[in-house]
Chains A and B, each alone.
Chain A
Amino acid sequence: MRRFEIINNWIDKNSKVLVLGCGNGDFLVELNSARMTKSQGIDINSEKVYEAISRGLSVIQGDINTDLADYPENSFDYIIAHDVIQIMEKPDAVVKQIIKLGRNVIISFPNFAYLPIRLTIFFSGRMPKTKVLPYEWYDSPNIHLFTIKDFKDFCKKENIIISRQHYTGFGKRNIPGCASPNLFSEFAYFMISGIKK
């Protein structure tokens, strides 16, 4: 299964990549074979990191909230934050940090303004549970949920350049950027970079 096809397609071959929250390394394996990279990963869960290293992958157990500061600027061609920014303690600080460390940063996240989510809150008056956001309100790791509009506002405020975007809706169907993605897409992908010096 090509679970990470959208992101993979944005990565140039033989690039230096860092994957944040890489888990047991499924994404790294796919990326390494599809784009001939020697990607590195970071994850906080020792059990998952153990699995990833056992697969011969280059992964560091560490906390994205605190341990990214160790990397020098522009260490990577791409930094990938797939479905993790909303679980960070300070998402803004992490984004500002990674646009320094990577020439390109790919951020993907569940869009909280997705129509079925809006309808659930409106009609049931309860926190929505979807395939992408399956948790109860009390055990959700997603402590900083946001929307596509929120993210774009943030990029504008921080002078972050958005170079690519991709939206998927119900059943992972692609949603064109002109078709109100903030309403119709469940998941969003952005490629961003810091200001050119």
Chain B
Amino acid sequence: MKKFCIGTFIVTAALILAVGCLTSGDVTLEVLNPRGEIELPPVSAPGARITDLTGKKIGLYWNEKQGGNHFWNGIEQLLKQKLPETKVLRYSGAFDLGDELAAKIAKETDAFLYGVGD
């Protein structure tokens, strides 16, 4: 019985102390950061612009999402009106252009407009 009383006293004292700490002082949680480390590629600037598009070839890329063809038809028409000396080349394909088609477009054009339909 005595042992029980001492035990009870210790537990009660510990509780009072704990509650005292929680209510009167600081409670500090040290929490770990859930974010994954990201290795970003080196920053690069976009390609140099062409100040005069006269006589240049502009590629239009569309990823074949429905309706995008109509939009790019309009862009082509307006480009030809605005820059009659400019040639427009149309391309379409996958969401990710891929190296092969990118190389082809780069070879055949001087500048490009790129849209994914969203």
Q: Do A and B come from one complex?
A: no
Binding site for A on B (CB under 8 A): none
Binding site for B on A (CB under 8 A): none
